[in-house]
Amino acid sequence: MIPLIFLFLGVLQLLPSCSGRAVCEDVGPLTTLKEIKEEIAGYQDAAKAIIDLAVCGKAQNRSFERLALFVDTVGHRLSGSKNLEKAIQIMYQNLIEDGLENVHLEPVKVPHWERGQESAVMLEPRNHPMAILGLGSSVGTPPEGIIAEVLVVSSFEELQRRAPEARGKIVVYNQPYKGYGETVQYRVQGAVEAAKVGAVASLIRSVASFSIYSPHTGMQSYQDGVPKIPTACITVEDAEMMARMASRGTKIVIQLKMEAKNYPDAESFNTVAEITGSKYPEQVVLVSGHLDSWDVGQGALDDGSGAFISWEALSLIKDLGLRPKRTLRLVLWTAEEQGGVGSLQYYQLHKGSISNFSLVMESDLGNFMPTGVGFTGSDKARAIIKEVMNLLQPINITQVLGNGEGTDINYWIQAGVPGASLMDDLNRYFSFHHSQGDTMTALDPTQMNYSAAVWAVVSYVIADLDEMLPR
Amino acid sequence: MIPLIFLFLGVLQLLPSCSGRAVCEDVGPLTTLKEIKEEIAGYQDAAKAIIDLAVCGKAQNRSFERLALFVDTVGHRLSGSKNLEKAIQIMYQNLIEDGLENVHLEPVKVPHWERGQESAVMLEPRNHPMAILGLGSSVGTPPEGIIAEVLVVSSFEELQRRAPEARGKIVVYNQPYKGYGETVQYRVQGAVEAAKVGAVASLIRSVASFSIYSPHTGMQSYQDGVPKIPTACITVEDAEMMARMASRGTKIVIQLKMEAKNYPDAESFNTVAEITGSKYPEQVVLVSGHLDSWDVGQGALDDGSGAFISWEALSLIKDLGLRPKRTLRLVLWTAEEQGGVGSLQYYQLHKGSISNFSLVMESDLGNFMPTGVGFTGSDKARAIIKEVMNLLQPINITQVLGNGEGTDINYWIQAGVPGASLMDDLNRYFSFHHSQGDTMTALDPTQMNYSAAVWAVVSYVIADLDEMLPR
């Protein structure tokens, strides 16, 4: 999942990361920056060692192979499912066997929703079974399904304009893809807006940058006081076809059947492991991804790869015998897809020590070839991150982009802790995201090596600097 | 479908189209080439008029819109199906209403195969329902299905080497994609080769250049004296996962159920329309695509778009009031996907007048932005086609590539008639080909305009030259 706060990242990424201001003016006395530069330059050998180990050394392809074994064994891992329980137990063992420290599980109550069987068949103008994926938290239909005429709209504005036509109908949203952040609002709010004008169900064009007739699922939200209607994503292809049919004045009738059901919350866990700091063990650089996934594909990309390159970062540092001054803490979140449930509880439990968090990091946007890190923090902190990224010149991944984001780290970022996220080709990411195509085939071992190298260098150096990142 | 003869087009395309020889040496006296050049240069205005009408005039987007209405109304059109019958009747009316001449249907007996319900479920090492598409002409399984252990191989060579392991198993081919021509042999011959070594079924990695968990279907061939075993394509993703599992020594068991069944041949038709030649009506330039498709997606790309830009070529010429000296004949083939059944019968019926066929053209490789035309013929004919393609300089589509091919025109080409095919991005084409993703969404109106312009200019000018193309 991608947080709503992340709505306009696509746009922000295009902006120069420092808004055109000279960096030196913002980091205080030049001597200070000079000192930090010199200190960071001292990590060139360590960075080189990490890169070598990850990219062409013994650890080459390790994160890919570990992940492949994991997802081939467990499959997808929806919040509340037995698969997720099994996944957490396997990861717990993996982290202990890897020799990491303070490996433990922190209990969390998580949502439990199951899609069951589901189908949508166009009955008019011709018989056409459609691929669908019900949306997380959606209610089901009666067992006999819902048969209704369709109203196709391309925006919420069109729905408002044509509100009198919506009563008793299935609203089909054929919104164009304008980047995930903007377009995902149709998936999240489509059912509520359709129900407000009397629709009996809503079918939403999948939020995807490219499609081979692939439906994409994801979370949706009901609203108090608005009837809960069943809601699912259809393919880009069927949404466009129905828009064409409607534009010709053709009547469309669909039968929708969904067994989707919400169950009482289930037990789950955030999974934690550390390399304890040598000098300031109470201070933390948090490195993270989420272990849960949607109930389609293998959850390899979202967010198996983010979780496993985060683990790999600690493995690389440990294998090199490095121990930073501060604690490097790996957290593999649970129930991220349901809105950051595991990470919210973690924040509430640990925010008392927020002054000890130097940097929070999350990789949840794919692990193709990294383009850099997104970063949110003060200009002083950004200048330091830029220096650290310069250590990655040997692999030419040095950009610090506009925004550090992630459902699971946003609580901390909003409270003032600097945050970093790993960035790559988002168009590629949103071709597979939340679809059956989220499998190992979408990933590449070499690209994961580079991702892990970036993640390890940044986390290690920030954890080992004399000072915490300024806020 | 793509013919087997087309096996190495991917490679041939990379070769310079004239093998480095100077063209003038091969077309006889310089005066002759000069005369032809001058004659063809005289078509600049006509070519410009066709291009303008197709790309930015009244006919802009017409082929896309006609096709969208057609495939949205009919859906896919498998040989032997009611959909194909309906499609042919609609096209017959379309061509009459368009004012084309000599519109008629030529009867053909075509194969009738239906896939019915089908499923494959991995039972060991974990429960995993897999997306499959049974292959055309495959037999079904017993109603209870086939449950068997899997042998994964990556090539026919590996299958031979491990033949003793195959008996009683389901053979899974995880052959890498090395271009369609080479790799499709696994789909066509996979069942026969597996049956020869005692396998009970075969599952073949889809022959696709890119996948979002999308199975691709297509034709397969049994062989006399070899047991007929059920065969289907699985996704690239599942093939790769099973290869990984097998490489770890994990036992894989699959339950395969297929209702696939072959029925007696059905009645169908090739659909024909003309612009009759003004001077040599008995001489023909044949422009074609096929109306049938696989029973997935909309058959928009394969080959709705090829059929509709072929129709569009005649419409453009007619709308401009042009009437070439020779007859422009549109043929929309039936049962191409079953191995060129309609076109074989057409060849047998009309080959008596083969000396009257100046050029045979087929568009069956997609209608994205054209890169040029593939051409097979004598060096003299090639030199003429190059001159004609120069008329397309206003839209910068002037390449004459190595091979003119197409299941439906190969009979003529092999008998010595010059042949041309429309070329574009084959990697894109084979992402959608024979999958549920073969829909209007994969097409672009502007790209179809350009395709139609190329098709119309080439067919019109060749049909109107003083002489037929030399052989």
What's the rounded Cα separation, in Å, for the pair B63 and B289? 13
Mutation target for A interface from B83, B441, B443: give the one with most A CBs within 10 A: B441
* A81 reaches B (C-beta below 8 A): no
Query: What is the reported pLDDT for B243?
Result: 98
Q: Chain B residue closest to A236 (CA)?
A: B441
Q: Does domain B4-112+264-464 have CATH number 3.40.630.10?
A: yes
Mutation target for B interface from A86, A212, A431: give the one with most B CBs within 10 A: A212
Catalytic residue among B274, B312, B336, B387: B336
pLDDT at position B19 over 60:
no
Percentage of chain B lying above the pLDDT 70 cut: 93
Please answer yes or no on whether B211 and A211 come within 8 Å at the CB atom: no
Q: Which residues of A272-296 are buried (b: 16+ CB within 10 A; e: fewer)?
A: bbbbebeebeebbbbbbbbbbbbbb
3-state secondary structure labels for all residues of A45-67? HHHHHHHHHHHCCCCCCHHHHHH
3-state secondary structure labels for all residues of chain A? CCCHHHCCHHHHCCCCCCCCCCHHHHCCCHHHHHHHHHHHHCCHHHHHHHHHHHHCCCCCCHHHHHHHHHHHHHCCCCCCCHHHHHHHHHHHHHHHHCCCEEEEEEEEEEEEEECCCEEEEEEECCCEEECEEECECCCCCCCCCEEEEEEEECCHHHHHHCHHHHCCCEEEECCCCCCHHHHHHHHHHHHHHHHHCCCCEEEEECCCCCCCCCCCCCECCCCCCCCCCCEEEECHHHHHHHHHHHHCCCCCEEEEEECCEEEEEEEEEEEEEEECCCCEEEEEEEEEEECCCCCCCCCHHHHHHHHHHHHHHHHHHHHCCCCCCEEEEEEEECCCCCCCHHHHHHHHHHHHHHHHEEEEEECCCCCCCCCEEEEECCHHHHHHHHHHHHCCHHHCCCCEECCCCCCCCHHHHHCCCCEEEEECCHHHHHHHCCCCCCCHHHCCHHHHHHHHHHHHHHHHHHHHCCCCCCC
Catalytic status, residue A336: yes
pLDDT at position B275 over 50:
yes
Please answer yes or no on whether B241 and A72 come within 8 Å at the CB atom: yes
Q: What is the mean pLDDT of chain A?
A: 94
Query: What is the reported pLDDT for B24?
Result: 39
Query: What is the reported pLDDT for B60?
Result: 98
Instruction: Tally C-beta pairs within 8 A across A and B.
Output: 86
Q: For residue A142, name the pLDDT band (cuts at 50, 70, 90).
A: very high
Query: What is the reported pLDDT for B34?
Result: 87
Query: What is the reported pLDDT for B17?
Result: 33
Please answer yes or no on whether A441 and B125 come within 8 Å at the CB atom: no
* B431 reaches A (C-beta below 8 A): yes
Contact present, A163 and A145 (Cβ < 8 Å): no
What's the rounded Cα separation, in Å, for the pair B404 and B55? 25
Query: What is the reported pLDDT for A186?
Result: 98
Q: What is the mean pLDDT of chain B?
A: 94
Contact present, B382 and B17 (Cβ < 8 Å): yes
pLDDT at position B15 over 60:
no
What's the rounded Cα separation, in Å, for the pair A115 and A111? 13
Instruction: Give me the residue from A69, A213, A245 closest to B437, CB to CB.
Output: A213
pLDDT at position B171 over 50:
yes
Query: What is the reported pLDDT for A34?
Result: 87
Instruction: Give me the residue from A214, A241, A440 closest to B72, CB to CB.
Output: A241
Catalytic residue among A274, A312, A336, A387: A336
Q: What is the mean pLDDT of residues B115-140?
A: 98
Lowest mean pLDDT among A8-12, A25-29, A327-331, B429-433: A8-12
- The C-alpha of A160 sits at a distance from chain B's nearest C-alpha, in angstroms, of 27
Q: For residue A464, name the pLDDT band (cuts at 50, 70, 90).
A: very high
Which residues of chain B lie closer than 8 angstroms to A439, CB-CB?
Answer: 213, 237, 240-241
Lowest mean pLDDT among A49-53, A185-189, B13-17, B219-223: B13-17
Which amino acid appears at position A108 of this protein? V
Q: What is the mean pLDDT of residues B399-420?
A: 96
Domain spans in chain A, listed from the N-terminal domain onward: 4-112+264-464, 116-259
Query: What is the reported pLDDT for B460?
Result: 98
Q: For residue B280, name the pLDDT band (cuts at 50, 70, 90).
A: very high
Residues composing chain B: 471
pLDDT at position B4 over 50:
no
pLDDT at position A22 over 60:
no
Q: What is the pLDDT of residues A319-354, one digit of tens each?
A: 999 999 999 999 999 999 999 999 999 999 999 999
* B211 reaches A (C-beta below 8 A): yes
Q: For residue A247, name the pLDDT band (cuts at 50, 70, 90).
A: very high
* A240 reaches B (C-beta below 8 A): yes
pLDDT at position B233 over 90:
yes
pLDDT at position A23 over 90:
no
For domain A116-259, give the CATH number. 3.50.30.30
pLDDT at position B326 over 50:
yes
